[in-house]
Structures are given as C-alpha cells and as structure tokens.
Structure 1
Amino acid sequence: MNWPTIRARLDLYEKLMRLDKPIGTLLLLWPTLWALWLSAEGGPNWIVVWVFALGTLLMRSAGCVINDYADRDFDKHVERTRERPLTAGKVSTKEALLLFAALCLAAFALVLMLGKPLVVWLSIPAVFLAASYPFTKRFFAIPQAYLGIAFGFGIPMAYAAQLGEVPAQAWWLLLANVFWAVAYDTEYAMVDRNDDLKIGIKTSAITFGRFDVAAVMLCYAATLALIAWVGSSYALGWPFYGALVIAAGIMGVHYTWIRGRERMACFKAFLHNNWVGGIIFAGIALDFLLR
C-alpha cells in the first residue's frame, strides 16, 4: 500500500473520530478539568492532568466511532450525516470496530499508568457507557441524560486519581454535567428533529416537544445551581461566582438563538457551550490561584 493510499485511509479515520470537529472533546474536557482542580484544590498533579486530557480525546474519538457504527443505517436518511465515512461505505464496519477497540485499549493503558486501582475499576463502566450510549436512542425518551453520565464519568475518575476516593462532591458535579449535557445536546437535537422523527430515533428535542426551549433553560439553571452548591463546599469566592454569572449570561444569549427553533441558530448555541465550560473552569482555577 503506497503512501497516498495510507494517507487517504488515515484521513477517513480522522473524520470517523471527528478529530476535525473538536467541540465534543472540549465538552468532555471541561467537566474533567473542573473535577481535577476542585479535587486538588487548585493544585492538580500535572501528569494526571495530561493523562486525563489525552484520555478524554481518545474516549471521545472512540465514542464517535461506535456512534457511527450504531447509526450507520439511520444516518443515510439524515442530510447532515449521510456522508460520514462509515455511512457512505468508505470505511468498513470491521475497520470501525477495530478502531474503536484500539482507542479504548490506548485509553485503558493511560489509566494503568496512573497506578490507582479505583480509577481502573471506574474505567470499566466508563467504557460501557461510551459504547452503549448510541443504542439508547432506540428506546430512551431522553438519551441525552445518558450521554451526560457518559460525558461526565471523567469526574469521579478524576477525583479517584487525585484523592483515591470519590466524595459526594464528585457525584453532585456529575449530576450538574447531566443537566448541562441535556441542555446543549437538546439544542443539537433540535437541528435534526425532523429527520429523527422520520427515522424513529428518540431525542430530548422530540420528547420535550413545544417545551424544548423551556427545558433547555431549566437544565441550564439546574447546572449552575448544582455547580454553585459544589463550589460552596470548597468555600470558593467571587472569581468562581463571577464566572457563574458570566456563564448564566451566555446561556441567556443561547435562549435568544434557540427560541425561534431555526436549525443553524440551534447548532450555533450548541457549539457555543464550549464557552460555558471554559468560563466555569476559569473561575475555579482563578479562585484557587488567588488564595
């Protein structure tokens, strides 16, 4: 196999893993960073940080691969996804499964490097959640809640890596991430609602119906309330709460974008959640830095 052919295959794998679309990785990374900084009270082990950052990239990539495998027949009927490598037949199902396995094994190797038994045990449900999420769209009314658990499982793992245990704050922070994921992924689902109705996939946008915008804003409010509760247990101050106020303002802007339910405006709001996660992390990091 010559180099141009190899390069073409690698380009297809890159698209299958969505490396060209980093928003998913960032939405996984921010909650993990919240947990790393909170659990270490502003001074995380930098080796642990790099392991989790790389692990987040690997597991998000694995999640994209298994998602496309699960949805390969459905995606043919959706305008936005019909040209994905697996759906278009440019990558075989065998290649996709092998790539998924390789990514999971690489992530597991990183976990073993940490030498923390609890993190190793937690990695098992983490892989199960990532692998099973795509199939929940067949029967869960709000699969986005399941996604929130899968996307946020780096939170208890981060606490376990730093402290050797998973305190109550980790689970409250995970719940906050579930509400956040329901909010931003409902915005995402609003983009494909008509296609999803035709092909029979369940999403929160369909389940919430005409109350979709209200549900997004209520989930945003729950997210901020829970994160504020967790922050109070660490006696965080004005930088943290100031960041939450800014995040609330950003969420308010999202309301102005999604209330018309226009596809591209909803997609814009989804992408913009990167700023929500980043601002909250900045508030946490700055608060500890100024102590």
Structure 2
Amino acid sequence: MRARGAENGLEDVRGAPPVADAARGNWVDRYAPVSWRPYLRLARMDRPIGTWLLLFPCWWSVTLAEVSIGNPYPDPWMLFLFAVGALVMRGAGCAYNDYIDRDYDARVARTANRPIPSGQVTPEAALAFVVALSLIGFLVLIWFNLFTILLGITSLALVAIYPFMKRFTYWPQVVLGLAFNWGALMGWAAVRGSLDWAPVLLYAGSVLWTIGYDTIYAHQDTEDDLMLGLKSTALTFGSDTPFWVGSFYVGALLLWIAAGFLAGTHLVFFFGVALVGLQMAWQVSTLDIKDGNNCLRRFLANRDVGVAIFLALVADTLISWWAGLS
C-alpha cells in the first residue's frame, strides 16, 4: 500500500513525502528548514491538533481553579507555561510512540511515511530527540509548586505504557485518556497547590471525551489494525460506534457540569457546555465510520470543543470577579 502523501505528489527536496494526515501546505512543509522537517514531523508539529487536545484540559483546569477563588482571569504566565509544556511533551510522546511502533507503522499506508519507518530519522536519533524534548518539559515543570511537579512526574508511567496497550487490550483509548488529560489535574494543582473534587471530575469527563474522539480517529485504521493484530475501541464497537461515542460524550458533559458546579461556575459556563453538547451531537449524528475523511474531520472538530469550554470558563472568571465586587 502506498501512503497518501506519495500519491498526492507532495514531496520535499529530499524526496520524503509528508505524512498522510498532515494538512496540505502546512508550515513545516512550506517554511521549515529541510534538515529540521523529519524531526518536526516526528513531533507532529505539522499536525497541531494533538497539542490543542493536550493543552485545553490544562487551560480548563487553571481557569476553573481561578473561578473557584474569584480571580478575574487566568494567570497568563501559567497559561504560557502549560502551552510550552503541552507542545514539547506532546512532541516527546509522539516521537516515543513512533519509536515503539516503528515496525507496525512501516506496514500501514497512513503511517508508512512517518520519519522513522521511512528512514528519515534513525531509531537512536528518535530516542535522543525524546530525551531532549523531555528535558525541556522538565524545565517547564519546575516553575510550578512542588505538588504539581510531583503530580506531573507521576504521569510518565501512563505515557510509557500507552504505546503497548493496543497489543494487549481493545481499550487502549482508556490509557490514552488517562495520560492525555493529566493536565486537568495539574492546572488546578498549579493554582491551588492541592486537588479537590472539581478537578477530579473535570479529569474524568476529559478522559471520556478522549475515548470518544480517539475512537472516531481509530476508525481510519481498522483494516490495518486487523491485519496487524492490533486492538482498539473502534474494532470493539464496530457499527455501534455512534452509540458508544455518544454515550462517552454525554458522560463527559455531565462530569464537566458537575465540576463546574462544585467550583462555583455561573450560567455562562453551563451555556458553553450546552453549545459543546450540540457540537458533539453533530459529530455523532453525521459520523460515517466507513469514510476515513469523515472520521478525520469529526476528530479535528474537537478543537472547537476545547475552545468553547475555555472561553466559557474565561467569561466565568470575569463574572465571578464582578460578583465578588458587588
């Protein structure tokens, strides 16, 4: 099977086609120095959706914590630290995942053009890249309080085991959700120095959200996964996927509402969650699991979920602050 990038004739000057699900004309392919491109692709810098999905639970949690203490807006410095951390740790996680999966990726059309299986980056260089990005992430982490530092370090166990899960369980998306949404705990901890039920519920809801959207994403690879003997929730749910994804999304919405209630949010937050519910309903009602492009578009639409929840929480901080002045 040929990768889509090669079929589209999109090759850089080294003859290496872009990976299949990168947007045509993305900034890496257009502007990055040629020698950097394999590493930027390894870190998924040409596909920023994963960074957004990792970052938003962090920003939600920071802002929810600010609502709970009546501050007028989330700390910009803290938002910046989480943004840098999400960028480099998502890159490190993707590079590590590609290192572990390099033999499988070489046999799948959608992933055959990734830097390691295509020979653009050696496995040893990929591991060195993981270490370098992880060190940057650690330098970001030490700006936070001790509790948050320790909390962040504990997430590494989940990150380490995730790439192996699809070899052993049909529910690897659960482990991905647990690892990918750790920021929903860390944001609150960074602001308050401890945890409470509100961030725990925010985290639980975000885990369900991830299981839902990654199940949609996994439907792009069901044929290849069957051929390779790999497992996923997409294979488990099959034609019942819309029901299951819808159920996970409903659970996420209810848990986010409960988190907001415990943190003292106002009507604007609940209105934002309601709008998100409509967007999720669109995803489920129009999902065609047999159409890879359809699945990819609905997966990418989850960035809108992140934006809507974050903006609703920011608006809520202003209302909380104003109410405190009244």
- The TM-score bracket by the shorter chain reads over 0.9
What is the aligned counterpart of 1:123 among 152, 155, 158?
Answer: 152
Aligned partners of 2:219 and 2:289 also within 8 Å: no
Aligned partners of 1:258 and 1:266 also within 8 Å: yes
Partner Cα separation in structure 1 for residue 277 and residue 269 of structure 2: 12
Aligned-partner residue type, residue 211 of structure 2: V
1:28 equivalent to 2:54? Answer yes
1:9 equivalent to 2:32? Answer no
Aligned partners of 1:44 and 1:162 also within 8 Å: no
Distance 1:260 1:200, change over 3 A: closer
- Where structure 1 has 5 or more consecutive residues not aligned to the other structure, the ranges are none
1:102 equivalent to 2:137? Answer no
Partner Cα separation in structure 2 for residue 33 and residue 211 of structure 1: 33
Aligned partners of 2:60 and 2:187 also within 8 Å: no
1:52 equivalent to 2:120? Answer no
1:26-45 deviation line (CA, Å, top 9, x unaligned)? 01111111100011225333
1:89-134 deviation line (CA, Å, top 9, x unaligned)? 11000010000011111101111122x1112211222222223211
* Cα displacement (A) at 1:200: 1.1
TM-score by length of 1: 0.94
1:157 equivalent to 2:170? Answer no
Aligned-partner residue type, residue 167 of structure 1: D
What is the aligned counterpart of 1:225 among 247, 254, 257?
Answer: 254
User: What's the counterpart of residue 39 of structure 1?
Assistant: 65
Aligned partners of 1:257 and 1:266 also within 8 Å: no
Partner SS for 1:101: helix
Aligned partners of 2:197 and 2:262 also within 8 Å: no
TM-score by length of 2: 0.84
Q: Paired residues, what number? A: 287
Aligned-partner residue type, residue 82 of structure 2: F
Partner Cα separation in structure 2 for residue 129 and residue 104 of structure 1: 15
User: What's the counterpart of residue 106 of structure 2?
Assistant: 76
Distance 1:260 1:91, change over 3 A: closer
- Where structure 2 has 5 or more consecutive residues not aligned to the other structure, the ranges are 1-12, 15-31, 321-326
Aligned-partner residue type, residue 57 of structure 2: P
User: What's the counterpart of residue 26 of structure 2?
Assistant: none
1:196 equivalent to 2:225? Answer yes
Aligned-partner residue type, residue 54 of structure 2: L
Aligned partners of 1:108 and 1:123 also within 8 Å: no
Partner Cα separation in structure 2 for residue 44 and residue 243 of structure 1: 17
Aligned-partner residue type, residue 140 of structure 1: T
Partner Cα separation in structure 1 for residue 268 and residue 38 of structure 2: 43
1:193-225 deviation line (CA, Å, top 9, x unaligned)? 111111111111011223211110000000000
Distance 1:112 1:235, change over 3 A: closer
Q: Give RMSD over aligned pairs.
A: 1.7
Partner SS for 2:91: helix
Aligned-partner residue type, residue 114 of structure 2: R
